[in-house]
Amino acid sequence: MRVAVIVFPGSNCDRDMTVAIEHITGRRPQQVWHKETTLEPVDLAIIPGGFSFGDYLRCGALAARSPAMEAVQDHAARGGAVLGVCNGFQVLLETGMLPGVLVKNRDLRFVCRETSLKVEENNQSVFTSGLEAGEILRIPVAHNEGNYTADEATLSSLEENGQIALRYTDGAHIGPYNPNGAANDIAGITSANGRVMGMMPHPERAIGDGLALQDGRRFLAAAIEALAG
Amino acid sequence: MQVVIHISLKDGVLDPEGRAIGHSLASLGFDDANSVRVGKNITLDIDTDDASRAHQRAARMCEVLLANTVIEDYEIEVIEES
């Protein structure tokens, strides 16, 4: 299983993601600097969380136009799998690889806490294919702009095509179950072909082994197993 | 030529920042202030003396990078030197 983690100035979850992937696969992913114009053949490219380019202009906007992201788009066009987490999700939306936009949280506050996520029954993606439909994952979020929105037509087509992968749902955590006001409680979506996924919650921060939560590991391991299969 | 680009949220897009500022203005007694919206201005110098070319280049920059046209509108103002 070959994985690449793209690194921008201001990325800050790149190392956690690298460690998480190494724990699962036993193989250290390659870290790819944003100025690289090509991507070695990989099974999965990951866009990590953080504050790429200081969130200047719009979250993810500058990273989305970097040479490495062009290479990631070529990789996706060949059917390669791509996962964007938090700022990585913002980057994928800015490239247009996924539809919609992430705007400021409903309560205008940075939210950093556990959330409960329901794996959508009808999601048709490689990322959730190894999980139980309807199962609940406990994974934390940490963001200021995680409020997913799109026009009505886009939201309807996401629903109808089974492109919603994860939805915020009730759980034993503090605060409202939807942490940011996201439309239709959307926490993660996938592309029409199910090979590109963006999600606000941070699976790499919930990999057990000293961390309180481990469902992030379950999510990543299931995705990697499905991709390897 | 100097160009000023005004970027604003499209009508109907929720602007929580504008709403918070509106609430703050109201609490300061400015209860005649309605529909507060926050946008941004980007000023730049484009390497041409042709106003229509400056406009065209700025529009291209907005489409490619400066505005997210899913939620934002942009207006371009080319400053004619006097």
Radius of gyration of chain B (CA): 16
* B12 contacts chain A (CB < 8 A): no
Quote the pLDDT of residue A209. 86
Give me the half-sphere count of Cα atoms (radius 13 Å) on the Cβ side of residue B51. Answer: 6
* Phi-psi map region of A96: left, alpha, beta (phi>0 left; psi -120 to 50 alpha): left
Confidence of residue B82 (pLDDT cuts 50, 70, 90): low
Please report the pLDDT score of residue A173 as a whole number.
Answer: 86
Q: Residue B58 in contact with residue B46, Cβ under 8 Å?
A: yes
- Distance CA(A210)–CA(A216), nearest Å, equals 13
Q: Distance from A175 to chain B by nearest Cα, in Å? A: 19
Tell if the CB–CB gap between A101 and B20 is shorter than 8 Å: no
pLDDT tens digits for range A209-221: 888 899 999 999 9
Whether A204 is catalytic: yes
Q: Summarize pLDDT for A86-116 with one digit per residue, the tens.
A: 999 999 999 999 999 999 999 889 999 999 9
Give the A:B interface size as CB pairs under 8 Å: 30
Please state the rounded mean pLDDT for residues A193-205: 98
- What ranges do the domains of chain B cover? 2-79
Structure tokens of A174?
Answer: 């503090």
Q: What is residue A147's three-state secondary structure?
A: strand
- For residue A17, pLDDT over 80 is answered with yes
Q: Which of A60-64, A152-156, B78-82 has the lowest mean pLDDT?
A: B78-82
Q: Which of A86, A94, A114, A145 is catalytic?
A: A86
**Average pLDDT of every residue of chain A:** 96
Q: Which of A94, A120, A145, A204 is catalytic?
A: A204
Taking each helix axis as running N to C, give the angle between helix A67-77 and helix A87-95, from 0 to 180 degrees, rounded to the nearest 10. 70
User: Strands A3-7, A44-47: parallel, antiparallel or unpaired by DSSP?
Assistant: parallel
Per DSSP (E only), the strands in chain A are 3-7, 30-33, 44-47, 81-85, 101-103, 111-119, 136-143, 147-149, 164-169, 186-190, 196-199
Concerning whether A23 is annotated as a catalytic residue, the answer is no
Average pLDDT over residues B2-16: 92
B11 and A CB contact within 8 Å? no
Mean pLDDT in residue range A25-43: 97
Q: Are A184 and A164 in contact (CB under 8 A)?
A: yes
Q: In chain A, what percentage of residues exceed pLDDT 70?
A: 100
Nearest Cα of chain A lies from the Cα of B51 at a distance, in angstroms, of 25
Residue A167 has pLDDT above 80, yes or no: yes
CB contact under 8 A, B65 and A61: yes
Give the pLDDT of residue A120.
97
Interface probe for B, chosen from A55, A58, A145 (most Cβ of B below 10 Å), is A58
What pLDDT score does B14 carry?
82
8 Å CB contact between A44 and A81? yes
Spell out the alpha helix ranges (H) of A66-214: 67-77, 87-95, 152-160
The answer, yes or no, to whether residue B12 has pLDDT greater than 90, is: no
d(CA A189, CA A90): 12
Taking residues A13-40, report their average pLDDT.
97
Q: What whole-number distance in Å separates Cα of residue A145 and Cα of residue A87?
A: 9
Q: Identify the helix (H) or strand (E) that includes residue B26.
A: helix B16-27
Average pLDDT over residues A49-70: 97
B28 touches chain A (CB under 8 A): no
Which among A65, A101, A107 has the least Cβ separation from residue B65? Answer: A65
For residue B75, with 0-12 CB atoms within 10 Å meaning exposed, 13-18 middle and 19 or more buried, which class applies? middle
Tokens of A183: 């439309």
Q: Is A13 an active-site residue?
A: no
- Give the length of chain A: 229
d(CA A213, CA A113): 12
Tens-place pLDDT, residues B16-39 = 889 989 999 999 999 999 999 999
Report the residue of chain A nearest B40, measured CA to CA: A57
Does the pLDDT of residue B13 top 90, yes or no?
no
Question: Residue length, chain B?
Answer: 82
Please indicate whether, in this complex, the C-beta atoms of A149 and B13 are within 8 angstroms of each other: yes
pLDDT of residue A229: 82
pLDDT of residue B30: 97
CA R_g for chain A: 16
Asked if residues A37 and A71 have their Cβ atoms less than 8 Å apart, the reply is yes
Place domain B2-79 in its CATH homologous superfamily. Answer: Phosphoribosylformylglycinamidine synthase subunit PurS (3.30.1280.10)
Determine the CATH number of domain A3-228. 3.40.50.880
